[in-house]
């Protein structure tokens, strides 16, 4: 994997969870308090419980660096996994691979 020093502490923690088989879930959920629906990002390790404190900002940071890619999608949810493509560990490298092939 590429140099992770540019990532925040939470993003590095998320990458470690994703390396172990975890995934991000960005889905429409209903709040038990307000009964309103809203999209939430949740990091789920392979064991299944949600990692607290890591949410949408961390997910967007990892997407911006090209470290996660959509794995599965429905009309109300998208699952993201760690990007295992050898060309796309960083956003800049994604552009280099695209120009090569």
Average pLDDT, the chain: 85
Inter-helix orientation angle 56-64/9-19, to 10°: 80
d(CA 44, CA 48): 6
CA dist., res. 77 & res. 80, Å (int): 10
The first and second tokens of residue 76, run together, are: 């109300």
Domain borders along the chain are 9-100
Which residue do the tokens 């994604």 mark?
94
pLDDT digit string (tens) for 64-81?
999 999 999 999 999 999
The DSSP bridge pattern shows strands 68-73 and 23-30 to be unpaired
Q: Which residues contact 74 (CB under 8 A, 6 or more apart)?
A: none
pTM for the model stands at 0.76
């Amino acid at each position: 994997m590429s140099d992770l020093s540019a990532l925040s502490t939470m993003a590095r923690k998320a990458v470690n969870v994703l390396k172990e088989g975890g995934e991000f879930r960005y889905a429409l959920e209903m709040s038990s308090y307000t009964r309103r629906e809203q999209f939430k990002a949740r990091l789920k390790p392979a064991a299944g419980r949600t990692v607290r404190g890591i949410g949408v900002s961390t997910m967007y940071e990892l997407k911006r660096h090209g470290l996660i890619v959509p794995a599965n999608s429905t009309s109300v949810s998208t699952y993201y996994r760690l990007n295992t493509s050898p060309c796309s560990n960083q956003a800049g490298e994604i552009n280099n691979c695209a120009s090569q092939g």
